[in-house]
Amino acid sequence: MKLDRYYYITSLPVLGELGAPPPIGFVEFLESVADHRRWRELINSLFLLEDLRQREAYLSGEVTDVDPTVLSTSQMLNRGPLPAYLVPDPDETQSPRRVASDALWEAYFRYVAALASSRRNAFLAAWVAREVALRNALAAARATRLGLEEADYLVATDLAAAEEDFTGLLSEWAAAPTPLAGQQRLLRAQWDWLAQHDAHFTFDEDELLVYAARLMLLVQWQRMTGNG
């Protein structure tokens, strides 16, 4: 049965402020839109970011457990092939990356940007453009701090939101008393950006995606602070 967008959005549990416990899990959320292929595809593209973050942390030894949503456990543990849309373009792998995982992130960002374009979803297009811009800004700042070439650590530069200025945010991130505090500052900035792009009370598809993106930040905060 086709879901009624108005009814569905109003039936979702209310999200608290950043730092509050997530009121619904990723899998439960996706199961509730199982009959709406378009919504599920768009939401999956967002939640895939968290899968890839967990996968990267596992492969680097930062964490010992993973809780996948979109990918399989074998894919998360690097024991099975990734989906074709995450396989880096051969043209992008001719010159080895300084950081091997950057090729995967480039493939992910290009997949989301292409999906946003094909589905004509303005929010998803803006979201991925900002994600690329922020990731590259952080990579450039780290490279500069270490005396390395910034360009060697950037991904999908053509997709980055040109209008974004992260100067103030990067200063706050760098000045944070602990790495955790720095990461929390970044999450707060992302939360604030979502508030600026919220389609609240329009009951539009974008409102559903903003909800999913906020839910992901709640989960990231919970995992970051060791409460997940």
pLDDT at res. 226? 81
pLDDT, residue 164, reads 92
Q: Please give the model's pTM, rounded to 2 decimal places.
A: 0.92
Q: Mean pLDDT across the stretch 169-177?
A: 97
Residue 93 has pLDDT above 80, yes or no: no
pLDDT band for position 228 (cuts 50, 70, 90): low
Mean per-residue pLDDT over the chain, rounded: 92
For 6-63, what is each residue's pLDDT tens digit? 778 888 999 999 999 999 999 999 999 988 999 999 999 999 999 999 999 999 999 9
1 pLDDT band (50/70/90 cuts)? Answer: very low
Residue 193 has a pLDDT of 96
pLDDT score recorded for residue 8: 84
Lowest pLDDT segment from 69-73, 90-94, 175-179: 90-94
pLDDT given for residue 3 in this prediction: 59
Rounded to an integer, the average pLDDT of 204-224 is: 94
Domain ranges of the chain: 5-224
pLDDT category at 181 given cuts 50, 70, 90 is very high
Q: Which residue did the predictor score with more confidence, 3 or 155?
A: 155
Task: For 198-211, write each residue's pLDDT tens digit.
Answer: 866 576 889 899 99
Q: Give residue 99's pLDDT band: very low, low, confident or very high (50, 70, 90).
A: confident
Residue-level pLDDT at 198: 81
Helix/strand/coil (H/E/C) assignment for every residue in the chain: CCCCHHHHHHHCCCCCCCCCCCCCCHHHHHHHCCCCHHHHHHHHHHHHHHHHHHHHHHHCCCCCCCCCCCCCHHHHCCCCCCCHHHCCCHHHHCCCCCCCHHHHHHHHHHHHHHHHHHCCCHHHHHHHHHHHHHHHHHHHHHHHHHCCCHHHHCCCHHHCCCCCCCHHHHHHHHHCCCHHHHHHHHHHHHHHHHHHCCCCCCCCHHHHHHHHHHHHHHHHHHHHCCCC
pLDDT digits (tens, 9 = 90+) for 120-143: 999 999 999 999 999 999 999 999
